[in-house]
Structure 1
Amino acid sequence: MSQSIEVALRTLLAVLVLFLLTKLLGKRQISQLSFFEYITGITIGSLAAYVSMDLDSMWHLGLISLVVWVLVSFLIEILQMKSKVFRDWVDGKGTILIKDGKIMEDNLKKERLTTDELLEQLRKKNIFKAADVEFAVMEPSGEINVLATKENQPLTPKHLGIKVGPEQEPQTVIMDGKMLDEPLATIGLSREWLYTELEKIGATLENVFVGQVDSYGQLYVDLYDDQLKVPQPQLKATLLATLKKCEADLELYGLTTKDETTKQMYEQCSRKLQRVITEIRPLLVS
């Protein structure tokens, strides 16, 4: 066997083994790395290269070393899940960098972080003054997370006392012009419903790049042809407007009728419908 073929076969073997062992370690190994995981990643890469390129007769020892490294890493991950003390020892703890708008200089020195680097990380969080930070911590992964002061936090409906409807994850029912049956079944809809909705907006299944249904049963599509304009669903807005019209009509009937009993009935129905509109409005304006 020629050396080039041997190297190619070993490389394929190393890729296969590395893929299987990485699957064993889980997604954490490819996310933010701890110190040990960083070392493990470098070592595993070096061992995989050794298995691929070393042409002597001892190359199989690299596979043994690769397996041992992965097993040790897997064991450490299990111990980290079982023991917080061990987890803190391996990964380390978060370091407070800013508290009540005051920079903790000693902690900056401990983490070997310069003031310029800290301010750069704050700017990435859209904060340009350290005084606007209530709390900032450097996580064991090295990422800096920031809590802005109350007056500098984004305004939310909760701050205004406004209730909004619950939002569930949208289901992707069309992808690359193909209908996906499983997401449709998850939200209790059928193929016939989807074809009807596509017909309403004048789109064909084959021309839809991505189609998603929100938690309120409204279909949103992105077409392959970007020149075509797709009307946005207006079902919720139409329903709210219809309810308001009904409520206004009841008030009008109550004002125009001369019969006292009928007048009270209209006014009572109008108040009940007004309460219903108030309760469901968050669901219809979200």
Structure 2
Amino acid sequence: MASWPETIVRSFIFLALLFFMTKFLGKKQLSELSFFEYVSGITIGSIAGEAIAGLEKNMFQGMMAITIFTFATLFADLLALKSKTFRDFIEGKGTVLIKDGKVLEENLKKEKYSIDELSALLRQKDIYRVADVEFAVLEPRGNLSALLKKENRPLTPKDLNMKVANEKAPQTIIMDGSILDVPLSASGKSRGWLKTELEKLGITVENVFIGQVDSYGELTVDVYDDKLQIPSPNQRPLLLSSLKKTQVDLEIFALETKDETSKVVYQKNANLVQETIEKLTPYLTS
């Protein structure tokens, strides 16, 4: 059995070794594991525990064993990328559990799942009736993928033939009270613009915990003082409102004027503004 000082030294050594080996294998080790990765992870942890506690006289034997299992796992992952047959063998295949709203009992038994467990997986996806499901597959990593029947799916703008603007990821331009110049530049804004926007909100950069610019060029901030009320961005709604008011005013002018030439001009411009409103509405509404 190793002495206390030796145990402490071994602990730090194997902690660092396991960290670097896991980082070497990649983020996949932190997500849901395949059968092989699960077995490999347990074994590597057991070897590390044995080596730290000093049950193995030679610490380097434990380090070598961990290295072997690490590279074996890496090799299996690389081989799985190149061979579907090997991938299906080592990771398994998806199993259809529900088809056309009906549970496939044989497949459920094959995967050793009860109806209660299937119902729990469905509830995690906010599905409470099996009959609402068109198709459900138990994936190789144990999660359930479910497709609702078309009449039970939420409506999307595409279903309503609505045009919506494409949104980009927001740029974080302020963090911990400091301006981040690279994201600020990527958002197409300047420090002068940022200063003006912060003045409108009545705050300073130092008070901002995080500030972001969305795809519409609007600034949203979260301040350190949670009791401080920050007004929501309203430039887009105001612009849309102004355009609608202009269109209505032009319509009224066209109706009130007795001059036929002016009437035609007002009506023509009212139509142009209306077309502009229709084109910009997806961009000016949240």
Q: Structures share a fold, TM > 0.5?
A: yes
Q: Report the Cα distance in structure 2 between the residues aligned to 1:74 and 1:215, rounded to whole angstroms.
A: 40
Q: Which residue of 2 aligns with 1:28?
A: 28
Aligned positions, number? 285
Q: Secondary structure of 1:42's match?
A: helix
Structure 1 residue 56, shift from structure 2 partner: 5.3
Deviations 1:31-73 (A, max 9, x none): 0100001011111111222232216541111111111111111
Structure 1 residue 146, shift from structure 2 partner: 1.2
Q: Secondary structure of 2:121's match?
A: helix
Q: Which residue of 2 aligns with 1:279?
A: 279
Percent of pairs identical after alignment? 50
The range that moved more, 133-142 or 267-276, is 267-276
Spell out the pairing of 1:207-222 with structure 2 (5 A cutoff): 207-222=207-222
Deviations 1:113-136 (A, max 9, x none): 001111111122111111111111
Deviations 1:214-251 (A, max 9, x none): 10111111222121111001000111111112222222
The range that moved more, 43-52 or 28-37, is 43-52
Q: Which residue of 2 aligns with 1:137?
A: 137
Q: Secondary structure of 1:146's match?
A: strand
Answering whether residue 187 of structure 2 is matched by residue 180 of structure 1, we say: no
Letter in 1 for 2:262: T
Q: Which residue of 1 aligns with 2:127?
A: 127
Deviations 1:136-182 (A, max 9, x none): 11000001111111222123222222222111111122222222222
Verify the 8 A CA contact 1:139 1:145 in the aligned structure 2.
yes
Q: Report the Cα distance in structure 1 between the residues aligned to 2:225 and 2:7, rounded to whole angstroms.
A: 46
Structure 1: give runs of 5+ residues left out of the alignment. none
Structure 2: give runs of 5+ residues left out of the alignment. none
Q: Which residue of 2 aligns with 1:16?
A: 16
Q: Report the Cα distance in structure 2 between the residues aligned to 1:51 and 1:192, rounded to whole angstroms.
A: 59
CA RMSD of aligned residues (A): 1.6
Q: Report the Cα distance in structure 2 between the residues aligned to 1:55 and 1:39, rounded to whole angstroms.
A: 21
Q: Which residue of 1 aligns with 2:76?
A: 76
Q: Which residue of 2 aligns with 1:240?
A: 240
Q: Which residue of 2 aligns with 1:205?
A: 205
Verify the 8 A CA contact 1:50 1:59 in the aligned structure 2.
no
Q: Secondary structure of 2:21's match?
A: helix
Verify the 8 A CA contact 2:50 2:56 in the aligned structure 1.
no
In structure 2, relative to structure 1, the CA distance for the partners of 1:194 and 1:213 (3 Å cut) is: same
